[in-house]
């Protein structure tokens, strides 16, 4: 959903900018919404075709935006506070960071399938 919103905003901003500067007209709401839907659908299709690289690109772009813009309270101090957790499962349930990795990677089999 984040990628679709990001793609919609990007394409609608490009469309509105081109209408404003090339045609010297104010963009209409209909054209901006049309461009947003087109951008969201295009990014959704790209995410289906290239899930890993598109997810990495979306995370990179979101990393460029300051975290304070996503805060609901509007205070920048809240962004620097870290949650504390206690107990055995505190790292998994209390908001701490936990990394779970798999020790076995699936191997890719190439060739004629054997039934």
pLDDT in tens, 28-48: 889 999 999 999 999 888 888
At 23, is the pLDDT very low, low, confident or very high (cuts 50, 70, 90)?
confident
Element (H, E) at 56: helix 51-64
Cα-based angle 13, 17, 23 (whole degrees, multiple of 5): 145
């Amino acid at each position: 959903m984040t990628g679709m919103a990001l793609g919609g905003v990007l394409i609608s901003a490009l469309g509105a900018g081109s209408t404003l500067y090339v045609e010297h007209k104010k963009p209409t709401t209909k054209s901006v919404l049309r461009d947003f839907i087109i951008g969201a659908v295009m990014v959704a299709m790209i995410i289906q075709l290239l899930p890993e690289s598109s997810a990495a690109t979306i995370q990179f772009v979101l990393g460029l935006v300051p975290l304070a813009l996503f805060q609901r309270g509007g205070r920048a101090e809240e962004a620097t506070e870290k949650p504390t957790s206690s107990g055995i499962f505190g790292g998994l349930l209390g908001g701490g960071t936990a990394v779970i990795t798999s020790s076995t990677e699936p191997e890719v089999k190439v060739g004629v399938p054997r039934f």
